[in-house]
Amino acid sequence: MEEVLWCFTFIKDKTLGEDYKEADKLWRERTPMTRMNIVAKALLNQKNYILKAKRITAVEIDEIK
């Protein structure tokens, strides 16, 4: 979960936008053997679920940023 949020945060800071395809590419580079069958849109949905369901605390999100 932390890795997914880190990738989206990194891409958002780097490109000043939220490009989920670039975040997917970065996530695949960092974790090539994790969930190999997931598509970019599903990764975006996973990030949204993590944030909406508060699966990670605000303190952890600040540490990731």
| Per-residue model confidence (pLDDT) at position 55 | 87
The tens digit of pLDDT for each residue in 22-61 reads: 999 998 999 888 888 889 999 899 999 988 998 888 888 8
Residue 2 has pLDDT above 80, yes or no: yes
pLDDT: which is higher, 23 or 16: 23
Closest CA to 8 of 56, 18, 36: 18
Count of all residues that appear for the chain in the document = 65
Separation CA 64–CA 27 (nearest Å): 14
Confidence check: pLDDT of 17 > 80: no
Give pLDDT, residue 29: 92
The 3-class SS string of 2-37 reads HHHHHHHHHHHHHHCCCCHHHHHHHHHHHCCCCCCC
How far is the C-alpha of 12 from the C-alpha of 49, rounded, in Å?
Answer: 18
